[in-house]
Amino acid sequence: MRYLRPETLGEALAALATAPHAILAGGTDFYPAAGDRPLRTDVLDITGLAALRGVARAGDGWRLGALTTWTDVVKAGLPPRFDALKGAAREVGSVQIQNVATVAGNLCNASPAADGVPPLLALNAQVELSRQDGTRVLPLGDFLQGNRRTALAADEMMTAILIPDDLPGGDERSHFVKLGARTYLVISIAMVAAVVAVDDAGAIAQARVSVGSCSVVARRLTALEADLTGQPLAQAAAIAAPRHMADLSPIDDVRATAAYRREAALELVRRALSHCAGGQP
Amino acid sequence: MSPDGATRAAIPVSFTLNGKPVTVTTDPVRRLTQVLRDDLGQTGTKVGCDAGDCGACTVLLDGAPVCACMVPVGRLEGHDLRTVEGLAAEGVLDRLQRAFLRFGAAQCGICTPGMLMAAGALLAETPRPTEAQVKDALGGVLCRCTGYRKIIQAVMAATDLDSHTPQAAVGAAVGSRIERLDGNPKVTGADRFGADTAPEGSLVVRVIRSPFHRAAFDLGDLTGFVAAHPGLVRVLTAADVPGRNLHGVIPDMADQPVFAVGETRYKGEAVAAVVGEAEAMEALDLADLPVTWTELPAVLTPAEALAEGAPRLHDRRPENTLMRGLVQRGELAEGFVAAAHVVEGEYSTGFIEHAYIEPEAGYARRVGDRIEVVACTQAPYMDRDDVAAILGLPKDAVRIIPTAVGGGFGSKLDLSLQPYVALAAWLLDRPARITYTRPESMASTTKRHPSHITARIGADADGRLTAMDFLGTFNTGAYASWGPTVGNRVPVHASGPYVYGAYRARSHAVHTNCAPSGAFRGFGVPQSAVAQETLFDELAERLGIDPLDFRLINALDNGSPTVTGQVFDTGVGFKDCLRALKPHWERARAEAAAANAAHPDGPRRGVGVAGMWYGCGNTSLPNPSTLKVGVKADGSLVLFQGAVDIGQGSNTVMTQICADALGLPVDRFQLIHGDTDLTPDAGKTSASRQTFVSGKASYLAGRDLRAQILRLTNASDGAAIDITAEAIRVSEGGTTSTIPLAGLKADAEGFVLMGQGTFDPPTSPLDANGQGEPYAVFGYGAHMVELAVDTRLGTIKLIKLTAAHDVGRAINPLLVEGQVEGGVAQGIGLALMEEFVPGRSENLHDYLIPTAGDVPEIETLLIEAADPLGPYGAKGIGEQALIPTAPAILNAIRHATGARVRHLPATPGTVLRALKDAGHAPVETPDHG
Ligand SMILES: Cc1cc2nc3c(=O)[nH]c(=O)nc-3n(C[C@H](O)[C@H](O)[C@H](O)COP(=O)(O)OP(=O)(O)OC[C@H]3O[C@@H](n4cnc5c(N)ncnc54)[C@H](O)[C@@H]3O)c2cc1C
Ligand code: FES
Ligand code: FES
């Protein structure tokens, strides 16, 4: 069994090419999952890959290196459409978690309750997956395949999250709302991210709304988004309706019932939209 | 090491630890907590969960707070690490540490290192933070004792803390807000908890537990398994128990095996224990043991356990019934006939986990023909007796030395780890240690009883209570534990502190294939209070009487009989509690009404009140305490104090009482606490008995020593005493007599004088109708909650809690407030978020307890209706504070919205359902699309 902590991506990918490794980033999903059992796998600790940390402009968009932590996101200077992602970042676990946990780890762990997914879906994020002989880019929605299932191959690692500049110009707003049974350190019962672009007349040029914890993978509410397009932003919350939740498939668990989740999701959607319109959170 | 080798190669890792360079050579994937604690001996950094959920392991990595339990040590190469041990440079406490002591921010102290590190990082950037900033910074560290308020105050005040420490004058220790006497090691990380004490080279024990609620099992070839795994020493099973393979806190009901035989009765029950060298045990996966399980049909609720044909858990307990309890007084039928209004309801609550931040831990070692167990516990003498029975030893061959206890709340009254380490150390003649994992602690130790309650209450047109009929069915789990205590306490207390025309309360404790339900702050009374106190509000509403007035009309008073027919001539301070709340109540109701009128679409504000009482000490059973205080030949003064301090402050309270009884300042005392070889039996730390019972013993011990000293000089009780290294001086009316210590004969332990006090509160047995004098004293209280309900999501925002408690006499108001605030926080958890589901929420990720952001401002109003028996009039407060919180919250929700929540916890989904039942518009409003 090995522990590798390479300083270059090349070394990391070379290691993955020779044998599968458990990839270790912030460790906040990795260690709790290990529990009290000994770690009997080769471990590739990627936190030495300094080049993968940070948020920067890249081409026609933004690039979040795979080692970017939630705290990095909170501190980064980013346009308003990232407010939802920042909101999620502030509510992931606790300060201790945010200081080490990576956004990429949140995606790779693929929990239905991952707070990073709704905002990133609403940003049309793509993920960059690298292996020794090349790189592929997948839409986040294709990368996430189910509860704890992703498109990541054994010899690949995620190297970045890419966010295209694809909002129509003009005013942009975004917001994240999370519902849990306590204030800190809480897994979402449901959470919603909204990103909207508004034209000069105050009408919605484009709306993207996603809901987490209400299906195995968080979902965009495409029917709602279509209904919102062209409508005044001030009306957005009132437009959201039960039928827009049809694509959700929440389950009963220790945190809440399916029925409650469905209702709460609608209310959270309305609150996220109303916040974007300048109303109360 | 080759990639497929069995272990990972150790590598050297160099970093700075509290400013000094260190290098460790180890498996780089090991958690930083393991390396700090096991390899570097830095046990100030605590482990409460190993999963990021509790924050007890918070350290500063390059200045930023992180959870050390999720940091691979290999990552530290070249980095800077700060731990609690680095705070008190050259032994001088920093301001934050001092603020923690001053404000009473450390109770048991297990969360304190993590709190200090998280808060320190905040203060480094923001020296004068707002409350919101402090909460954000502390949100990742759980505390189960304090309710967070004093921690928040300490952090906000730290930067400007003055250097004046409160002192108590001679004779005025009682009533003063002195800092806890055992606080220093709690803020430096030097305190030794169960997991911090084992001698180097101890064997490590791990327990194999049932993965099913009920299962048959075959242990397989354990000897072969040990032989094939170098470093493992032995696997212990029921066959290895030399004495009785049973234990239980109520001796004649002992029914819980150390190791199950044939079949397990709950998920988490022990069947065997592996013992080995530390390194081998760290590499062991318990799943590799050759144990095979066959799941069997299980019953998980009383309804299932009482159903016809249900499997019986214990042969000698038909119908899976552990016991039934009854208290009745007056003619019930007549009482209901006399009622102008009758309300009734059905209620339920779930399992509640104690969730102390310290999982059970400790070690044992064999010393000749004796065994010593050093572990966290609330009841050293009970541990001693049961360990002796298990090992087949006489009681005096067992010594129990309690470590610092990182929270107990009732669960550490029962044995947990003690038999396993004791057996291993006894049989193998080497020290053996164990530290429960968080899931193991949660799966295997006791819980608060789930309850199913039906109650009917009637009142006449004037609002006087005419009758109450109560039936509580309690899920008592697989073993007796404290189930009988709950079953007996509930019928006595289900009335609340009120006067009824007629009363009947029945309880029924039913075995199921769940973890044993045991003692948890309040022994069933918090559950019964939920039913009784919320029905009161419905009754008051029917009568058109203000809820607080309704309680005042019916409140128990001096001279009025309780439901067991007991009459107290003095010391019933319940009405005083209600009256103390009155101005707050009027202010809060007016504010809520104004806010609701001003914001018709906003969250609904509400105010609720609930009362409580709680008998201190065992129910109709003797429960004596003995304390000793002695003077040594060198003039030192030693208090032998066996009342285990589990954070509540008994070390400090016993000393304050003894100091005033004796007439010397508290700082003269040295403490010897809770070692069964050294301290006399001060009973268990439970049932809110320590301040009352052991406190009285402390008082009597102090008085005894004082009397002996005065007798030596024929001085009167008005004399002043001083003890120096050479002599005892007694001064009276301007003359001083000197008794040279050298002239007094010292005993074998070096004591020249020894005072002793024993107190056993007077009670009488209950008759067949539950009539009698079950407790020598009750504590009384009432809480008022202000909150806001989000009617669309069903979420609750607590605004303020005002707690009035009759404590007889507040020996140390700072500590009393700490008990109240901690009790309130647990009450909030019970009301709004906590529910343990066996097999599903055995971690602090899924089992939610309140965080720093969930406890609102708490104002404590201390009422002192002196008890004639208690030391300086004091009564207990430990459990009292938790009881009225949940019903007060439910009453406030109902006041705000009309919604009636009868099944706890009131999670958002439950509240939303209740809101709909009360006619609030569902979110599914007409389609706007
Ligand atoms: C107490 C606590 C509270 C939490 N609260 C929240 C919360 O509120 N909301 C929330 O969404 N999550 C929460 N989490 C979960 C967790 O913190 C997040 O999912 C976090 O973002 C994971 O990042 P990490 O860097 O720690 O991942 P790691 O634990 O290091 O890795 C997670 C998984 O992803 C894989 N992985 C990581 N990086 C890569 C990569 N670059 N390429 C390929 N695979 C990779 C790992 O192999 C592993 O399987 C919480 C966790 C804890 C312990
Ligand atoms: S021990 Fe690390 S967070 Fe609990
Ligand atoms: S003082 Fe915080 S957990 Fe005990």
Q: What is the pLDDT of residues B850-860, one digit of tens each?
A: 999 999 999 99
Q: Rounded to whole angstroms, how far apart are CA atoms B26 and B12?
A: 6
The residue type found at B853 is: G
The residue type found at B310 is: A
Q: Rounded to whole angstroms, how far apart are CA atoms B322 and B470?
A: 19
Torsion angles phi and psi, residue B767, rounded to 5: -85, -170
pLDDT reported for residue B674: 83
Q: Rounded to whole angstroms, how far apart are CA atoms B361 and B406?
A: 10
Q: Do B851 and A183 touch (CB under 8 A)?
A: yes
Mean pLDDT of B496-523: 97
Closest partner residue to B70 among A5, A27, A189, by Cβ?
A27
Structure tokens at B379: 């009841």
Asked if the ipTM is above 0.90, the reply is yes
- Check whether B108 has a pLDDT greater than 50: yes
Relative to beta strand B637-641, strand B669-673 is parallel
Structure tokens at B330: 């007056």
3-state secondary structure of A16: helix
Q: CB–CB of A185/A93 below 8 Å?
A: yes
pLDDT reported for residue B622: 87
Work out the pLDDT band at A280, boundaries 50, 70, 90. Answer: very low
Closest partner residue to A260 among B11, B29, B908, by Cβ?
B908
Q: Which residues of B touch A26 (CB under 8 A)?
A: 70
pLDDT reported for residue B618: 87
3-state secondary structure of B383: helix
Helix residue spans in B790-863 (DSSP H): 813-832
Work out the pLDDT band at B225, boundaries 50, 70, 90. Answer: very high
3-state secondary structure of B886: helix
DSSP string computed for B570-618: S---HHHHHHHHHHHHHHHHHHHHHHHHH-TTSPEEEEEEEEEEEE-SS
Q: Which residues of B touch A186 (CB under 8 A)?
A: 848
Q: CB–CB of B142/B151 below 8 Å?
A: no
Question: Which ligand has the minimum distance to the alpha carbon of residue B111?
Answer: 3
- Residue for token pair 């000293």: B709
The residue of chain A with its CA nearest to that of B64 is A99
Instruction: Using alpha carbons, list the distances in angstroms from residue B853 to A192, B51, B109, B358.
Output: 22, 20, 20, 21
Model confidence over A16-36: pLDDT tens digits? 999 999 999 999 999 999 999
Bridge partners (DSSP) listed for residue B470: B455, B505
- Residue for token pair 């056993």: B760
Mean pLDDT of A268-278: 96
Mean pLDDT of B262-287: 97
- Residue for token pair 């789930």: B450
Work out the pLDDT band at B291, boundaries 50, 70, 90. Answer: very high
Mean pLDDT of B566-579: 97
For a substitution probing ligand 1, which of A28, A99, A182 has the most ligand atoms within 8 Å of its CB?
A28
Mean pLDDT of B425-443: 98
3-state secondary structure of B318: helix
Residues B590-625 as b or e (16 or more Cβ within 10 Å = b): eebeebbeeeeeebbbbbbbbbbbbbbbbbbeebbb
Model confidence over B17-44: pLDDT tens digits? 999 999 999 999 999 999 999 999 999 9
pLDDT reported for residue A97: 98
Model confidence over A152-201: pLDDT tens digits? 999 999 999 999 999 998 899 999 999 999 999 999 999 999 999 999 99
| Peptide bond preceding B905 in cis form (omega within 30 of 0) | yes
B857 contacts: CB under 8 Å, gap ≥ 6: B149, B799, B800, B801
Work out the pLDDT band at A134, boundaries 50, 70, 90. Answer: very high
* B887 membership: H or E segment, kind and range: helix B885-897
Model confidence over B456-492: pLDDT tens digits? 999 999 999 999 999 999 999 999 999 999 999 999 9
The residue of chain B with its CA nearest to that of A185 is B140
Q: CB–CB of A247/A221 below 8 Å?
A: yes
Residue B830 CA to ligand 3 center (angstroms) comes to: 18
For a substitution probing ligand 2, which of B35, B43, B57 has the most ligand atoms within 8 Å of its CB?
B57
Question: Which ligand has the minimum distance to the alpha carbon of residue B65?
Answer: 2
Q: CB–CB of B873/B867 below 8 Å?
A: yes
Q: Rounded to whole angstroms, how far apart are CA atoms B536 and B455?
A: 11
Work out the pLDDT band at B928, boundaries 50, 70, 90. Answer: very low
Largest alpha-carbon pair distance within chain A? 62
Mean pLDDT of B671-693: 87
Bridge partners (DSSP) listed for residue B215: B264, B295
Mean pLDDT of B717-724: 95
Residue B638 CA to ligand 3 center (angstroms) comes to: 27
pLDDT reported for residue B4: 41
DSSP string computed for B122-180: HHHH-SS--HHHHHHHHTTS--SSS-SHHHHHHHHHGGG--S------TT--TT--PPP
Closest partner residue to A97 among B52, B832, B912, by Cβ?
B52
pLDDT reported for residue B922: 66
**Which residues approach ligand 1 with their CB closer than 6 A?**
A 22-30, 32, 46, 66, 92-93, 97, 101-102, 104-106, 108-109, 114-116, 152, 157-158, 185, 187; B 51-53
Is there a catalytic annotation at residue B334?
Answer: no
- Check whether B746 has a pLDDT greater than 50: yes
Q: Rounded to whole angstroms, how far apart are CA atoms B665 and A272?
A: 61
pLDDT reported for residue A222: 97
Work out the pLDDT band at B6, boundaries 50, 70, 90. Answer: low
Q: CB–CB of B426/B533 below 8 Å?
A: no
Answer yes or no: is the C-beta of B32 below 6 A from any ligand 3 atom: no
Across chain B, mean pLDDT equals 95
Residue A104 CA to ligand 1 center (angstroms) comes to: 8
Residue B268 exposed, middle or buried by CB count within 10 Å (0-12, 13-18, 19+): buried
Name the residue among B173, B76, B146 with its Cα closest to residue B660.
B173
Instruction: Using alpha carbons, list the distances in angstroms from residue B396 to A80, B249, B432.
Output: 72, 18, 21
In eight-state DSSP terms, residue B925 is P
Relative to beta strand B398-402, strand B604-615 is unpaired
Torsion angles phi and psi, residue A275, rounded to 5: -65, -40
- Give the whole-number percent of chain B exceeding pLDDT 90: 93
Answer yes or no: is the C-beta of B382 below 6 A from any ligand 3 atom: no
Structure tokens at B748: 């074998």
Q: CB–CB of B875/B577 below 8 Å?
A: no
- Check whether B2 has a pLDDT greater than 60: no
B763-768 LR contacts (CB < 8 Å, sep 24+): B763/B617, B763/B618, B763/B619, B763/B620, B763/B621, B763/B622, B764/B620, B765/B620, B766/B327, B766/B488, B766/B492, B766/B564, B766/B619, B766/B620, B768/B326
- Check whether A214 has a pLDDT greater than 70: yes
Bridge partners (DSSP) listed for residue B11: B26
Q: Rounded to whole angstroms, how far apart are CA atoms B637 and A250?
A: 66
Q: Do B140 and A266 touch (CB under 8 A)?
A: no
Mean pLDDT of A111-127: 98
- Check whether B797 has a pLDDT greater than 60: yes
For the CA atoms of B891, B896, B902, B908, what is the dihedral angle to 10 degrees? -130
DSSP string computed for B652-721: HHHHHHHHHHHTS-GGGEEEEES-TTTSPP---S-TT-IIIIIHHHHHHHHHHHHHHHHHHHT--TT-EE
* B526 membership: H or E segment, kind and range: helix B525-543
Answer yes or no: is the C-beta of B357 below 6 A from any ligand 3 atom: yes
Name the residue among B167, B679, B797 with its Cα closest to residue B380.
B679
Largest alpha-carbon pair distance within chain B? 98
pLDDT reported for residue B924: 56
Work out the pLDDT band at B925, boundaries 50, 70, 90. Answer: very low
Answer yes or no: is the C-beta of B647 below 6 A from any ligand 3 atom: yes
pLDDT reported for residue B1: 34
The residue count of chain B comes to 929
Work out the pLDDT band at A70, boundaries 50, 70, 90. Answer: very high
For chain B, give me the number of helices (H) and strands (E)?
Answer: 22, 31
